[in-house]
Amino acid sequence: MGKVAIGVAVVCGIAVAAAAAVVVHRKTKKSGRWVKAMEILKEFEEKCGTPIPKLKQVADAMIVEMHDGLASEGGSKLKMLISYVDHLPTGREKGLFYALDLGGTNFRMLRVQLGGKGRGIVNQQFEEVSIPPSLMTGSSDALFDYIAAELAKFVAQEGSDFKQSPGRQRELGFTFSFPVMQSSIASGTLLRWTKGFSIDDMVGQDVVAELAKAMERQGIDMRIAALVNDTVGTLAGGRYNNKILGTGSNAAYVERAHAIPKWHGLLPKSGEMVINMEWGNFRSSHLPLPDYDHALDTESLNPGEQSFV
């Protein structure tokens, strides 16, 4: 959610890399060091290769951790977070939709026109705004008022090529890339700030409610329809064949709702639930790691770290 395709940049990058490879190939071969270079590459490939039995061991260990994570909160290194998304887009959606992605020192706004069956994304516009450093350590009202004010400007620039269905309120999807405890499709309590933010009065508050209040103060007539993790958004966006490039590693998938022991609510009508695995911190007691892996984990992760993205 809130990400713009950058396929052209990727293609350009591949072209540059290919050209560089050709130059290196020619120069290396001419200098008589080609054989030595190939030996080094072969050795590097052999040392980096993972044996098939080890890959199967990793897969088996992950399956065990997935089941444990679905059974209870804190029962696994895989968080297996319930997203409250119980069905994915069909490709027949039609109308005007907005997205807001707050993920760090910048936030992004996206306006998308969906054309319905067979048409997919008809039109879209994107804008990125930097957050002043003072707002990252100020008050929650100041931060969300700034975001809402920029969103109001963005909405005001809506052109005639974007059409809202008559009698229908505008809807917004909100990606909030900080640790939260989500309690419904459109609510989530901030657990703590990361990425340089430190706004004490926001911790423990519902981030959707705070954004909604700021939008109301700015006179924006829009409903926040969903609070989503960017990995869940990628899974949903895949129905529209968006080319999405991101950092980090995570996975989301569709699980049968009755196969989630820790789910205590009524089963959704669809019988399904999207699960955000949070596998970036995947470790398993069923898969012992070398000492250097444990040392790296100790140095790179805060105890109990749980990221929303």
The Cα–Cα gap between 258 and 63 comes to 17
CA atoms in the 13 A half-sphere facing the CB of 284: 18
Examine the residue annotation and report whether 223 is marked as an active-site residue of this protein. Answer: no
Backbone phi, psi, residue 287, to 5°: -140, 80
Q: Which of 76, 83, 140, 177 is catalytic?
A: 177
Q: Which of 86, 145, 183, 192 is catalytic?
A: 192
**Residues with Cβ within 8 Å of residue 196, at least 6 apart in sequence:** 104, 105, 136
Torsion angles phi and psi, residue 294, rounded to 5: -65, -40
Selecting among 68, 101, 206, 230, the annotated active-site residue is: 230
- Alpha-carbon distance of 206 to 190, in angstroms, equals 6
CA-to-CA distance for 136 and 93, rounded, in angstroms? 36
Cβ 2 vs Cβ 100: under 8 Å: yes
| Residue 192 bears catalytic tag | yes
DSSP 3-state of 204: coil
- Its sign, for the CA torsion 183, 186, 187, 188, is positive
Cα distance between residue 143 and residue 181, in whole Å: 20
Q: What are phi and psi of 87, to 5 degrees?
A: -160, 150
Residue 245: which residues within 8 A CB-CB, separation 6 or more?
Answer: 3, 6, 10
How many other C-beta atoms can be found within 10 angstroms of the C-beta atom of residue 139?
Answer: 13
Active-site annotation, residues: 177, 192, 230
